[in-house]
């Protein structure tokens, strides 16, 4: 295999082998600790603008399946792994992971020490980088790539949600599919509620879960006004996940602020951060973010711990929220960051993590049922 180089803005250079497209890509270098679900990570729009390191030592061994896509294409800028399997072994696979990434122009660097790289990022924080897997690479290209990494925009202040959002509204009616012939996936008898979902980079499994609990879903672009949303006569509004910094999204924040009190609202991830800003809070960038399928979160209402799936580099400052208006409902047990809150006067709630999983545990699926209960209460 040809060589590949990952260069970081602090001057660090990591060398390995190319297993994807012959390409050079740049972005914020982050890591994900999930053991499975690499295809869902590849196709999650929340990873736009990022080069992803997967800490599980072997990637690609179960191939890819069209049913596991979270969007129409991969959004990661590049991939870094310890070992990329050349063998696919899974009855559901319809394409090798290497072919899947190559045809979309995603470079992969394999055969490097991902443990050392992740420890470096945990110490120094995530940073900008360039992944070069061009066939013309030679070892002396490292310093040039470091300079390129220092020139790319930082994630702080970057509006990526508008870039990945749909440009036109569309309807979604597909429920969750069984992963094996023997699996039974119970579904609602039919749509009872009309949910308008803001697409800030929405994952398809979120849409599937909404359909599963009895919703008819209309997905709208990120810049859709509050008036246009209300004109669709929704029973509830959903605020999706997405990439980038929430602070530049002032148009979206203003629209959500105008919707509070007029319709039930449920937000996750970037949607949670936008709601935090809409109620007067502040957001900030985490040192290395939360990305994985094994993060413990305590539900302060039930006092139960949920193992949850995460993908975010920003968080809402709990001290910036007005305790008379909102109630904190979930906290992260690893670092005590805010994971969820609800409004005291209006049917509005949100969480920072991903209750739809994909990949990840199912501990938090109940939140979609809670959204339905909110809409039932408003009828």
User: Which residues are identified as catalytic?
Assistant: 269, 354, 356
Based on the number of CB atoms within 10 Å of its own CB, is 138 exposed (0-12), middle (13-18) or buried (19 or more)?
exposed
> Which among 328, 327, 297, 329 is positioned nearest to 310, based on CA atoms?
297
Residue 184's Cβ-count burial label (10 Å; 0-12, 13-18, 19+) is exposed
What are the structure tokens assigned to 362, written together?
Answer: 């199912």
Q: Are 313 and 157 in contact (CB under 8 A)?
A: no
Contact in structure between 251 and 56 (CB atoms under 8 Å): no
Whether residue 376 contacts residue 312, with contact meaning beta carbons closer than 8 Å, is answered with no
Cβ proximity of 33 and 294 under 8 Å: yes
> Mind giving me the DSSP string for 357-378?
-SSS-STTTHHHHHHHHHHHHH
Within 13 Å, how many C-alpha atoms sit on residue 108's CB side? 26
Q: How far apart are CA 216 and CA 197, in angstroms?
A: 10
């Amino acid at each position: 295999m040809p060589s590949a180089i990952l260069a970081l803005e602090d001057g660090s250079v990591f060398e390995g082998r190319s297993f994807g497209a012959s390409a050079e890509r740049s972005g914020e270098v982050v890591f994900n600790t999930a053991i499975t679900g690499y295809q869902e990570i590849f196709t999650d729009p929340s990873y736009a603008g990022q080069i992803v390191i997967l800490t599980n030592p072997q990637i690609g061994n179960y191939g890819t399946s069209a049913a596991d896509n979270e969007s129409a294409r991969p959004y990661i800028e590049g991939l870094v792994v310890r070992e990329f399997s050349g063998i696919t072994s899974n009855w559901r696979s319809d394409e090798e992971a290497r072919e899947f990434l190559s045809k979309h122009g995603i470079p992969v660097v394999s055969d490097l020490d991902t443990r050392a790289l992740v420890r470096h990022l945990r110490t120094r924080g995530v940073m900008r980088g360039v992944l070069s897997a061009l066939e013309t690479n030679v070892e002396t290209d490292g310093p040039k790539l470091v300079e390129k990494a220092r020139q790319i925009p930082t994630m702080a202040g970057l509006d990526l949600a508008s870039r990945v959002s749909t440009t036109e509204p569309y309807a979604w009616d597909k429920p969750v599919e069984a992963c094996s012939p023997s699996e039974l996936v119970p579904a609602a008898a039919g749509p009872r509620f009309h949910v308008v979902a803001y697409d800030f980079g929405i994952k398809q499994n979120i849409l599937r879960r909404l359909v599963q609990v009895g919703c008819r879903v209309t997905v709208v672009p990120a810049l859709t006004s509050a008036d246009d949303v209300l004109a669709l006569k929704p029973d509830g509004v959903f605020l999706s996940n997405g990439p980038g910094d929430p602070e530049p999204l002032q148009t979206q924040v203003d629209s959500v602020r105008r919707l509070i009190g007029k319709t039930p609202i449920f937000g996750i991830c970037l949607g949670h951060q936008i709601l935090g800003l809409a109620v007067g809070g502040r957001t900030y960038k985490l040192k290395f973010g939360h990305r994985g399928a094994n993060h413990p979160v305590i539900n302060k209402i039930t006092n139960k711990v949920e193992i949850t799936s995460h993908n975010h580099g920003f968080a809402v400052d709990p001290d910036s929220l007005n305790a008379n208006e909102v109630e904190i409902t979930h906290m992260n047990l690893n670092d005590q960051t805010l994971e969820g809150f609800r409004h005291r006067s209006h049917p509005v709630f949100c969480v920072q993590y991903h209750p739809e999983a994909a990949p990840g545990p199912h501990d938090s699926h109940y939140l979609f049922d809670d959204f339905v209960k909110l809409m039932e209460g408003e009828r």
